[in-house]
Amino acid sequence: MPRHQFGIFAEGTRAHHHLEFHLRPGAGAAALSSALVAVRLANADHRTNGGTNLVIGFGPALWEVFPDALAGPPVSAFPGYRNDAAGHHAPATQEDIWVWIHGPQPDLVIDVVRAVTAALAPVATLALDQPGFVYHDSRDLTGFIDGTANPFLDDAPDEAVVPDDQPGAGGCYAMSMRFVHDLDAFGALEVDDQELVFGRTKDHSVELPAGTKPADSHIGLAEVADDAGDELVVYRRSVPWGTAAQQGLHFVSFGADVDRFDLQLRHLYGLVDPALVDRLLSFTTAVTGSFWLCPSVECLEAVAPLPADEDDD
């Protein structure tokens, strides 16, 4: 039974760092394989350094480099979403390799970040370099708790990991999007109006009752179902980021396919029902977007085998 990358579901870490890389032209399988071995080894001491987690995601270009080792069809590229009438756009900035490092403290995380970046330098350039953090009790910088509707950890792998009988088994599909907030505009709303934007209360994240929750609220549009009416669950691990000048959210979610991310985004951006556009988008702007497959440990081993004396996870 292929195993998922355990760091996807390791909760409780407060320091995060997201790296995205663009393959250098001509980067071949042997060089990329050696670089990925070094990436995996960068976190080999995770048990003794205080517990950092490292998750690797592959964009579509990796299937061209490793056509045999990567089972199943390539992950699709993030297509981008545009609603000109509403003035909202989620640009497609699909990259090739995503590495997500998270741990208890930034001092531990930065050591791994530097080692990963050095390991990939011969084959890829750094396209995104985004530290993030858990804000108070897992709140977005708007002050709303983020992650309330996530499946509990007992259930999350069942929801987000590709099942054993499917290509890519043990892998998790993922989506990452960097958002830049307009916190002044959001903060200018009364709290009860802010609650209408999300569809939940601000203090305790209680869902607003059906008669009160607007159809264009964030959770009203983000919760989607399949044709049979079953909810298409995702497992979200977004983190806020910020400097004095700019703040936002690095959105990350995992699921058993990318179609559910696509459907959610079409709902949020008003591409399903033009009359309904996620009101949250008036206060935040997407600036990146990529789809990924975070392959199983066995698949990583096939692409980038660790030396025999190292644990494979």
CA–CA gap between residue 172 and residue 253 (Å, rounded): 10
Q: Tell me phi and psi for residue 30, to 5 degrees.
A: -65, -45
What b/e sequence results for 106-115 when a residue is b if at least 16 CB atoms lie within 10 Å of its CB, and e otherwise? eebbbbbbeb
Least distance (Å) from ligand HEM to the CB of residue 129? Answer: 19
Query: Among 143, 150, 98, which residue's Cα sits nearest to residue 289?
Result: 98
143 binds ligand HEM (CB under 6 A): no
With contacts defined by CB under 6 A, name the span among 5-13, 57-65, 106-114, 197-205 that binds ligand HEM.
Answer: 197-205
Question: Smaller CB distance to ligand HEM: residue 123 or 293?
Answer: 293
16 binds ligand HEM (CB under 6 A): no
Question: Smaller CB distance to ligand HEM: residue 142 or 296?
Answer: 142
CA–CA gap between residue 110 and residue 168 (Å, rounded): 31
With contacts defined by CB under 6 A, name the span among 28-36, 80-88, 110-118, 137-145 that binds ligand HEM.
Answer: 137-145
- Stretch 269-308 residues interacting with ligand HEM (CB under 6 A): 284
174 binds ligand HEM (CB under 6 A): no
Catalytically annotated residue among 146, 216, 262, 278:
146
CA–CA gap between residue 199 and residue 142 (Å, rounded): 13
Q: Tell me phi and psi for residue 27, to 5 degrees.
A: -60, 120
Pick from 95, 140, 195, 216 the residue near ligand HEM by CB under 6 A.
140
* Helix locations, the chain, DSSP H: 29-42, 61-65, 106-120, 156-160, 183-187, 191-198, 218-222, 259-268, 297-303
**Annotated catalytic residue 226:** no
Window 21-60: contact mask with ligand HEM (x via CB under 6 A):
----------------------------------------
For β-strands 172-181 and 15-23, DSSP reports them as unpaired
Q: What is the CA radius of gyration of the chain?
A: 19
254 binds ligand HEM (CB under 6 A): no
Question: Smaller CB distance to ligand HEM: residue 43 or 138?
Answer: 138
147 binds ligand HEM (CB under 6 A): yes
Please give the single-letter amino acid code of residue 243. Answer: T
For 264, the token pair is 């959610």
With contacts defined by CB under 6 A, name the span among 69-77, 142-150, 164-172, 185-193 that binds ligand HEM.
Answer: 142-150
CA–CA gap between residue 51 and residue 25 (Å, rounded): 35
Window 205-244: contact mask with ligand HEM (x via CB under 6 A):
x------------xx--xx----------x----------
Least distance (Å) from ligand HEM to the CB of residue 170? Answer: 23
Question: Smaller CB distance to ligand HEM: residue 27 or 268?
Answer: 268
Q: In a 10 Å sphere around its CB, with 0-12 CB exposed, 13-18 middle and 19+ buried, how is residue 221 labelled?
A: buried
Query: Among 146, 206, 187, 148, which residue's Cα sits nearest to residue 283?
Result: 187
* Number of residues located near ligand HEM, criterion CB under 6 A: 24
> What are the residues binding ligand HEM (CB under 6 A)?
140, 144-149, 177, 179, 198, 200, 205, 218-219, 222-223, 234, 249, 251, 261, 264-265, 268, 284
Which residues are known catalytic residues?
A: 146
